[in-house]
Structure 1
Amino acid sequence: MNIDTFRTGLRAWLDAHDLTPAPGDHSLDAQVTQLERVRRELWDAGWMRHGWPEAVGGLGGPSALRAVLGEEVATRELAEPGLYSMVEVLVPTLISYAPAALAAEMVPRLLGGREQWCQGFSEPGSGSDLASLSTRAVRDGDDWVISGQKVWTSLAQYAARCVLLARTGPDPGHAGISAFFLDMDAPGITVRPLRTMHGVDEFAEVFLDDVRVPGDRLLGAVGDGWKLAMDLLPHERSTCFWHRVAHLYTRLDRLIDQTDVADAEATALGEAYLALHTVRCRSHATQRRLAGGARLGPETSVDKILLATAEQQLFDTARDMLPGAVELTDPAWRTEYLYSRAATIYGGTAEVQRNIVARRLLGLGKE
């Protein structure tokens, strides 16, 4: 199925099937429940299967079909885009690194809205410097025993499974890291939600105390953890970013609807639109490269910088054009404004991304 045919059919189906969230409840519990509902109904109707391999219950076709689906979900505000897009990071990882039978069993559970999963990468002191992580996995017979701590783990309190990185070798750098697929109800796992300044407990700390993991839950080979993490990034910075930009355009439209635009404000709106248009064009090019089989690398740091810049510029403009809304009168704008402050932190800080661009793309060295 080509993209235009897919989009036309999808829009007609969505027009005929109301997946709009219930009004009034904006809690994280409600968002997760709505996310499960959207995935389940789109999976049952077949739309969520497009762009995924038949081996995991998909219907095949280009990955761009998934981008179109996520764009429609974001534009119609059917599910929070950051939560919805987690499938674009976790499912390709499982398809590429898990035993085929495990991927075939598990992937439909996530895509079909029966489970949530999380990603256990960051640790206290090992966020952007992922190679310094200290959570350790020790082989015990056919199993592994894992101990350590993860932090900033999205939806961990709702998750049934976790894609987790741990150190399995003596090498202090990349080579000693392996990846595992954990059941979150395994003995020894404790989850503690974190309250962030935007008031939503989306993130959590995860404590692992001698957690036993079967040997067949190793993803890839021993020492493949860093490679898995690097392969994950292109998916995070292609389809996920495309969904995020679609969501930000809805916020720009809402801002325009809520303001009487004067000349100075029109300039600010134009600058915000230009920033969004720039990252959309860049994201479109990245999507096309990924769909064409290109292996993405450090150039996706440019996508990350542009997206973070555009997101913060948009919400700065909203704060300026809606006096008092963020600070006093509008909880929705306040929540999103505060969340946008983290755009230059999550997924790799702006400072790290600019260093990558300088050193690996521009060859400027370490000075």
Structure 2
Amino acid sequence: MVKVTLAQEAAIGAEEPVEEFAARAAAFLEANLPPRTARATFVWGEGEDTGVKLWEEPDSDEERTRMADSRAWRRKRFDAGFGWIDGPVDQGGAGLTKEHLRTYRRLEAQYQTPSDTYFKLDKILSPVIRKYGQEAIADSIPRALYRGELMACELFSEPDAGSDLFSARAKAVPTDGGWLLNGQKVWTSDAHLADIGVVFCRTSSVPGKEAFSAFLLDMKQPGVTVVPLRQMTGGAAFNEVYLDDAFVPDANLLGKVGQGWEVTREILALERAGIGAGLNRSGSGLANGTRLTALVKAMHAQDEPLIRQELIKTISAFWAAKQLTTRGSDKVGASAYKSDPTPLISKLALSNNLRRASDLVGKVLGPKATADNGEWGTYSWNSLLLGEPGVHIFAGTDEIVRNSIAEKVLGLPRD
């Protein structure tokens, strides 16, 4: 396979004007998708009473159907040249610019597309695999992720370690042609559906970050057991994963032995970068205050000064987080930072904002949130109240994120 340099990719991308690309993309979308209908204005008491769900907890039949639809669309989109617009030409990408990508996303948002929920790690893992993966996987895995041929998960947290990855106990021991992995991972999204997983394991007993390595693991092989993790919400959006002599070939080592923390840190940074504005794009009406305001009015709490104050604070906090994630960190102060604070602050802002929203809902509803008495718009908020604590765990606990801001952004000494 002939490698295309970054300069050549940029030249290829510059050959097609954005206007011509937009016309071609619009024709493709119009021929393959129905247009998106206008979202109905939220009216209290009308429609399905679903509340605000933070975690995807579909049943297995629904998951299989959604995944099949998503895979089919991703393949059609990729084969038409729109699946990896800014990707390298030699791996199936279009070699176009970020502006082309933004243009396509704006156009696609106007159509009804299958859910991309199960393939959300393509943009997060692909650049890391391209950077650290050996040639065989660096050339093939990113393409397969973008085309929907593979679905991935992340195996980082452990029962006795949580977000303190330096306390991880899962081990990788050298064997003929590769490594044998043993241990337990937890809070793993989509592990029961994933084809591959990035796993963080201890490869040495020496203290410090050099004791860990990262691998690409075949999730369907013997020695990998996935068990649903039941939550307070009643659903199972996460899994536990048990590794019992699970084999990883040498070719699936990411980076060098002892470079696992560097690999994992880059993955987490990419993951956090898009978290803060997640609910702003969900249409749930939580971040923009529509549903919260309607709840306060329906419960006749709009004249209570403290409730009104908390409502305004919550809506303002979501708005501020949206500005952060859409505009990035302050360019004036950025030069004083050791690294870009946006991903870390975005994640922490989401945690704080959802806690504030959950607290407000609990105060307004009181006992109506604890039992289903059939009243519209009351018990349905239970999924938010019970699901919100999990937000403070994923992509790094709030405490770990605060430490990272202090040490990596502000340059403060380690605690």
Q: TM-score range by the shorter chain?
A: 0.7 to 0.9
2:44 matched to which residue of 1? Answer: none
How far apart are 1:173 and its partner, in Å? 2.0
Percent of aligned pairs with the same residue? Answer: 27
How far apart are 1:340 and its partner, in Å? 1.5
Unaligned runs of 5+ in 1: none
Q: 1:43, 1:49 within 8 Å by CA — same for their partners in 2?
A: no
Q: 2:73, 2:114 within 8 Å by CA — same for their partners in 1?
A: no
- Cα deviations across residues 102-157 of structure 1 (Å, max 9, x unaligned)? 24433343333344221111112122210121211122232211111111111111
State the structure with more CA Rg.
2
Q: 1:325, 1:333 within 8 Å by CA — same for their partners in 2?
A: no
2:357 matched to which residue of 1? Answer: 314
Going from structure 1 to structure 2, the CA distance change for 1:99 and 1:173 (only over 3 Å counts) comes to same
Q: Map of 1:1-367 to 2, 5 A cutoff? A: 9=26, 16=35, 27-29=58-60, 30-31=62-63, 33-35=65-67, 37-38=69-70, 40-46=72-78, 47-59=82-94, 60-62=96-98, 65=101, 69=105, 79=115, 85-247=120-282, 250-251=285-286, 252-256=289-293, 260=297, 262-264=302-304, 266-286=308-328, 296=339, 300-322=343-365, 326-329=369-372, 332-362=380-410, 365=413
- SS in structure 1 opposite 2:98? coil
- Cα deviations across residues 235-275 of structure 1 (Å, max 9, x unaligned)? 11213433344227633434445563735455443322211
RMSD (CA atoms):
4.0
Q: Counting helix residues as a fraction of each chain, which structure ranks higher?
A: 1
2:9 matched to which residue of 1? Answer: none
Q: 2:157, 2:168 within 8 Å by CA — same for their partners in 1?
A: yes
How far apart are 1:230 and its partner, in Å? 1.3
Going from structure 1 to structure 2, the CA distance change for 1:26 and 1:217 (only over 3 Å counts) comes to closer
**How far apart in 2 are the matches of 1:341 and 1:156?**
21
How far apart are 1:317 and its partner, in Å? 3.0
How far apart are 1:213 and its partner, in Å? 1.5
**How far apart in 2 are the matches of 1:115 and 1:288?**
37
TM-score (norm 2): 0.71
Q: 2:133, 2:254 within 8 Å by CA — same for their partners in 1?
A: yes
**How far apart in 2 are the matches of 1:234 and 1:68?**
25
Aligned residue pairs, count? 357
How far apart are 1:178 and its partner, in Å? 1.0
Given residue 160 of structure 1, which amino acid in structure 2 is its aligned partner?
A: D
Q: Which is further off, 250-259 or 193-202? A: 250-259
Q: Which is further off, 51-60 or 144-153? A: 51-60
Given residue 308 of structure 1, which amino acid in structure 2 is its aligned partner?
A: S
- SS in structure 2 opposite 1:16? coil
Going from structure 1 to structure 2, the CA distance change for 1:72 and 1:286 (only over 3 Å counts) comes to farther
How far apart are 1:222 and its partner, in Å? 1.4
**How far apart in 2 are the matches of 1:85 and 1:271?**
31
Given residue 307 of structure 1, which amino acid in structure 2 is its aligned partner?
A: L
Going from structure 1 to structure 2, the CA distance change for 1:269 and 1:68 (only over 3 Å counts) comes to farther
Given residue 312 of structure 2, which amino acid in structure 1 is its aligned partner?
A: G
- SS in structure 1 opposite 2:199? strand
Given residue 16 of structure 1, which amino acid in structure 2 is its aligned partner?
A: P
**How far apart in 1 are the matches of 2:112 and 2:389?**
24
Q: 1:238, 1:287 within 8 Å by CA — same for their partners in 2?
A: no
TM-score (norm 1): 0.80
Q: 2:153, 2:197 within 8 Å by CA — same for their partners in 1?
A: yes
**How far apart in 2 are the matches of 1:353 and 1:256?**
30
